[in-house]
Structure 1
Amino acid sequence: MATEKSDQDVQALRADIEALRNDVSAVTKSLSDLARHRAGDFKNAAWSRAEHVRDDLGEVVDDMTGRGRRQVDRLEQEVADRPLVSLLTAFGIGLLLGKLLDRR
Structure 2
Amino acid sequence: MQHSKTTETEIDFRAEFDTLRDQVNELLKSLKNKTEATASSLGENVESKMEHYQDQAGQKLHDAYAAGNAGLNDVGEHIRKNPVASMLIAFGVGYAIFKVLGQGK
Both structures adopt the same fold (TM-score exceeding 0.5): yes
TM-score by length of 1: 0.94
Residue type at the aligned position of 1:28: L
CA RMSD of aligned residues (A): 1.2
Mark the runs of 5 or more structure 1 residues left unpaired by the alignment. Answer: none
Greater than 6 Å deviation, 4+ residue runs: none
Size of the aligned set, in residue pairs, is 104
What is the SS of the residue equivalent to 1:102?
A: coil
**How far apart are the structure 2 equivalents of 1:32 and 1:97?**
68
**How far apart are the structure 2 equivalents of 1:36 and 1:100?**
65
Match of 2:8 in 1: 8
1:39 matched to 2:39? The reply is yes
What is the SS of the residue equivalent to 1:86?
A: helix
Q: Identity, % of aligned pairs?
A: 26
User: Which structure exhibits the higher relative contact order, with contacts defined as CA atoms closer than 8 Å and separated by 6 or more residues?
Assistant: 1
**How far apart are the structure 2 equivalents of 1:88 and 1:48?**
54
**How far apart are the structure 1 equivalents of 2:101 and 2:18?**
85
Match of 1:75 in 2: 75
